[in-house]
Amino acid sequence: MVLLTFFSKSSFAAVIKGKLQTGSSWSHTIYLKELQRYNDVFSGSNKGIIDSCSIGADGSFIFKSVKPNIIYRLNTVPAFSNTPGMIIQNGKSDNYAFITVSAIEDTISVSGSVERLFMSHNVICNSLDCGKFNSQIAVVRENKKPVYDTMAYFYDLFSQADIQDKDSLRLKAVTTIQQVNASTNKTLVNYIKTVEDGQIMALGLVFANFEQLDDEAFSTEELLNWKSDYSLGQSVLNRLAQLNMGRTDTAILEKNLSTISGKEINLKSIESDYLLLDFWASWCIPCRQAINGSLKRLAEKYPKEKLTIIGINEDENINQALAAIKADKNDMLQIHDADEYLKKRFAISSFPHYLLINRLSGKVSIVYPETVVLP
């Protein structure tokens, strides 16, 4: 593989081509994104897009100069979109597919629909190794098919529901999809353990929400014994190392932190069995919707001696945070993470993000407010 660096990209490279069913509401351009890090897999960012090509009148497309041993994401987009990297997975559409090539001689043929690319696409390879790796990706997809089927079911229900019923239906959809997702994660993890290729294993772990896996499903120590020579796999390993350091963290309870009003506090002084840290920012719409939604319902479910919810604000400008707190009538205890100590300690890269801390043991878990159940 090292010899590749001595030749031009166009002289020695694999090919990805195909024929897709198009639609009038979808763009006739397809994009190729190179996955370097685990959070690239479902990122809606344009970062990592290395090529694009037109989809012909007959649905055909072709990417040349494709490097081996990298997992790529094919992306289609609606006609109105100017964001090539956008991700859609709403039950009606899933506009992406994951593929890989194993050698410079490989040619991959992809068929499917631009609107349901993930669930509809089929891959044919000209080599056994390439076929093997893409078949493993297909198994990952099949393990997650119940989740996509459930999303499609609720999408249809939601489109037919009366306006007054939509809030309760939305909550039921979120809860049901999370339950199905958790169930499929268990079967997917069992499959991942049989996969030897580090790139495929990394992709499967992202689909299995590896950041939330507990030791019973797939121990951190077991994962840390796995090695990867490629960037996607290595990024998963690096993230696992960060999570391993934070899973049991009694030191965090002793750390003196600053509230939004400037008072010093440490988490150990809060007399609750569990602490839920809500990492948020004023510009994050889902964060603020949760204040009077899922977080409020969770706070009403448990008494203060059982659970205390603490906002961890990540705004650089404290006045923006204060304005948001006032506008949202947010009466939760708020810590201003001005030096990003908590954000960096738990390697948090997006908001909203929720951590549940057992105050007695110091165990830290990544959670969703809708699925928190305390003993």
Instruction: Name every residue whose Cβ is closer than 8 Å to that of residue 278 and which is 6 or more positions away in sequence.
Output: 287, 290, 295, 309, 310, 311, 312, 332, 352, 354
Q: Which of helix, strand or coil describes residue 372?
A: coil
Paired tokens of 35? 């996955």
Are residues 99 and 156 both part of a single domain? no
Residues 255 and 210 in one domain: no
DSSP SS3 for 347: coil
Domain assignment present for residue 276? The answer is yes
Judgement on whether residues 125 and 27 belong to the same structural domain of the protein: yes
Are residue 351 and residue 264 in the same domain, yes or no?
Answer: yes
Same domain, yes or no, for 350 and 271?
yes
Cα separation of 281 and 342, whole Å? 14
- Pairwise CA distance, residues 273 & 252, whole Å: 15
Per-residue pLDDT tens digits for 227-279 = 667 788 888 877 776 666 555 666 777 888 999 999 999 888 898 999 999 99
| Domain-located, residue 111 | yes
Domain count, the chain: 3
Give the Cα-Cα-Cα angle 137, 215, 246 (nearest 5 degrees): 100
- Residue 65: pLDDT above 80? yes
Q: Please report whether residue 2 resides in a domain.
A: no
For residue range 322-340, what is the model confidence (pLDDT) as tens digits? Answer: 999 999 999 999 999 988 8
136, part of any domain: no
Tell whether the model's pLDDT for residue 176 goes beyond 50: yes
Query: Phi-psi region for residue 347, left (φ > 0), alpha (ψ -120 to 50) or beta?
Result: left
Q: How far is CA 277 from CA 169, 257, 329, in A?
A: 27, 13, 18
User: What's the CATH number where 260 sits?
Assistant: 3.40.30.10
Domain span at 186: 143-246
Statement to judge: residues 209 and 283 lie in one domain: no
Which two three-digit tokens encode residue 78? Answer: 């609606």
Sign of the CA dihedral 246, 249, 251, 255? positive
Q: Does 345 lie in the same domain as 289?
A: yes
Query: What pLDDT does residue 367 have?
Result: 85
In a domain, 154, yes or no: yes
In a domain, 138, yes or no: no
**Cα–Cα distance measured from residue 124 to residue 109, given in angstroms and rounded to the nearest whole number:** 5
Distance CA 33, CA 53 (A): 12
